[in-house]
Amino acid sequence: MSRPRAKLTNTFPGCPVESALSFIDGKWKGVILYHLMTEGTLRFNELRRRVPSVTQRMLTKQLRELEEAGLLSRTVFPVVPPRVDYALTSRGESLRPVIMALKAWGDKNVLCDGERMTLKPLKAKSQVESENA
Amino acid sequence: MSRPRAKLTNTFPGCPVESALSFIDGKWKGVILYHLMTEGTLRFNELRRRVPSVTQRMLTKQLRELEEAGLLSRTVFPVVPPRVDYALTSRGESLRPVIMALKAWGDKNVLCDGERMTLKPLKAKSQVESENA
DNA sequence: GCCTATAGTGTCGAAAAGGATACTGTCCAT
DNA sequence: ATGGACAGTATCCTTTTCGACACTATAGGC
């Protein structure tokens, strides 16, 4: 397969997994979708503030790709200073189970401590039970 | 964020989404996990046959990364010809909801027709109802 | 004696992705 | 008159990813 990932499309079982992944591939798409899902429509700089480490250029790029993929809509208001709203389309909304599964897995398995990303230890069943008790 | 994606780890809401994504990032990890989830333990060449377009070198690389991440185990049998089994660990198994959500989304939204990957049209509610009738 | 299967490794190069930095233009508040 | 907020572009450069291809070693079958 010498095609870029976004154009990956051989037919084989499991291909749907890859093609779905290709839509949220890109360093920031996951977070962008997550914020739009949990907070609703957001403006460019609102997104920027929520994803502090993305550069302007990358945020623009990822948003354009998501728009092209039909996952979000971009609404420009002809006012000054400029105003641009980003909102999920219904196809974007349909990704909610995926994003939320990722979020749940990340919450359970990863420690985002600000310096390193570390895996949380797996819990034995007894530990889980005592926590839920 | 000038770190590679695998080391992405700033603290912000939505970070769990990104860090979860970093585990299945890589052009073939999704499919590999999918096949191990649906078929159980597989040998190197069995995986290769299930993912026809991956090269040997890339399959090896992705498998090693998944192993390092603790998502699968690699068992070498000292026989000749060589035999190496790949199986999900329990942490790998814990990704099942994620992979299955991706699979479901892909099935519903993408047409893998072997030449192009195209988005299926969104269904109006009435259409869905008549299909389920 | 040659081919096949097994599970890789090594090297090379192209392409894609991502980051740093500087720049645009208008309005408003200070 | 200076600076900031807004939503971007443009240019350049580095890093990362991926693929092609060649190569390894051993046993068994024809």
Summarize pLDDT for B44-90 with one digit per residue, the tens.
Answer: 999 999 998 999 999 999 999 999 999 999 999 999 899 999 999 99
Where is average pLDDT lowest: A75-84, B51-60, B110-119? B110-119
Nearest to B11 by CA among A118, A119, A112: A112
Distance separating alpha carbons of residues B58 and A30, to the nearest angstrom: 24
User: Which among A108-112, B10-14, B41-45, B120-124 has the top mean pLDDT?
Assistant: B41-45
Q: Which residue in chain B has the smallest CA separation from A24?
A: B21
Pairwise pLDDT comparison (B82 vs A4), residue with the higher score: B82
SS3 content of chain A, % helix, strand, coil (to 5): 50, 15, 35
How far is C-alpha B78 from the geometric centre of its chain's CA atoms?
28
DSSP 8-class letter at B112: E
**Domains observed in chain A:** 5-108 (1.10.10.10)
**Do B30 and A21 contact (CB within 8 A), yes or no?**
yes
Task: Report CB contact under 8 Å: A30, B15.
Answer: no
Contacts of A100 (CB under 8 A, 6+ apart): A37
For range B14-41, the mean pLDDT:
93
In this predicted structure, the answer to whether residue B5 has a pLDDT above a threshold of 80 is no
The CA–C1' separation of B27 and C7, in angstroms, is 21
In this predicted structure, the answer to whether residue A2 has a pLDDT above a threshold of 90 is no
Nucleotides on chain D within 7 angstroms of protein Cβ? 4-11, 15-22, 25-27
Distance separating alpha carbons of residues A101 and A58, to the nearest angstrom: 25
What's the one-letter identity of residue A53?
A: S
For range A118-122, the mean pLDDT:
86
- From chain A, the residues in CB contact with B117 under 8 A are 7-9, 19, 22
Nucleotides on chain C within 7 angstroms of protein Cβ? 5-11, 15-22, 25-27
In this predicted structure, the answer to whether residue B93 has a pLDDT above a threshold of 60 is yes
Task: Report CB contact under 8 Å: A98, B117.
Answer: no
For range A11-31, the mean pLDDT:
86
Where is average pLDDT lowest: A26-35, A72-81, A118-127? A118-127
Nearest to B93 by CA among B116, B123, B72: B72
Pairwise pLDDT comparison (A68 vs B112), residue with the higher score: A68
The CA–CA distances, whole Å, from B118 to A13, A61, A121, B106 equal 17, 21, 40, 11
The answer for A112, left when phi > 0, alpha when psi is -120 to 50, beta otherwise, is beta
Pairwise pLDDT comparison (A43 vs B10), residue with the higher score: A43
HSE-up of A69 (CA within 13 Å, CB side)? 28
Where is average pLDDT lowest: A41-45, B3-7, B32-36, B104-108? B3-7
For A52-74, write each residue's pLDDT tens digit: 899 999 999 999 999 999 999 99
For residue B86, the cross-strand partners are B42, B74
Could you give the strand order of the β-sheet that contains B83-88, starting from the edge strand earlier in sequence? B42-43, B83-88, B72-77
Binning pLDDT at 50, 70 and 90, where does residue B7 land? very low
Task: Report CB contact under 8 Å: B98, A105.
Answer: yes
Could you give the strand order of the β-sheet that contains A83-88, starting from the edge strand earlier in sequence? A42-43, A83-88, A72-77
Binning pLDDT at 50, 70 and 90, where does residue B2 land? very low
